[in-house]
Amino acid sequence: MAIKWTEELSVGVELIDQEHQLMFEKAGQLFDAGKKGQAKEEIASLLLFLDEYTKKHFADEEKYMASVSYPELEKQKTMHSSFIGELDKLKKDYIDSGSNISVIMNANQMVIDWLVKHIANEDKKIGVYVKTMK
């Protein structure tokens, strides 16, 4: 089952938090669409949005980290590249499976797990770092 973004996942940087919230919302919609057996086109559209928006979010986040001279920027970039690769594989698996809905339902948990772990273990450090600068 998909989970929702909560204040506990707040980084404390408005743009980053807003983008995280939208990513959780779209991942949840993807899960719900798979669960309800909705049209393959809708799932493909949500998967494409999630992929494109994730890339936009990572670029925004990396730009922000660079603007505050965040010391773990390169580590974040490496993790972001890895996740983009996982999303590319997910899209390919969905297409290769003949648009099998179960692929999306199983993969959704991977996406949510990654988001929660990445935000809680890595992105929150950005907010902590910024607070020390003030």
Q: Could you tell me the residue range of the domain that residue 38 belongs to?
A: 10-133
Is residue 1 in some structural domain? no
In 3D, which of 1, 3, 133 has the Cα closest to residue 68?
133
Q: What is the pLDDT of residues 6-22, one digit of tens each?
A: 889 999 999 999 999 98
Q: What is the pLDDT of residues 25-66, one digit of tens each?
A: 887 787 777 777 766 777 777 778 888 888 999 999 999 999
Tell me, yes or no, whether 3 lies in a domain.
no
Name the token pair of 76.
């974040």
Q: What share of the chain is helix, strand, coil (3-state, %, to 5)?
A: 80, 0, 20
pTM over 0.85: no
| H, E, C per residue of 81-111 | HHHHHHHHHHHHHHHHCCCCHHHHHHHHHHH
Count structural domains, the chain. Answer: 1
CA atoms within 13 Å, Cβ hemisphere of 81: 6
Q: Which CATH number goes with the domain that contains 51? A: 1.20.120.50
Residue 2 inside a domain? The answer is: no
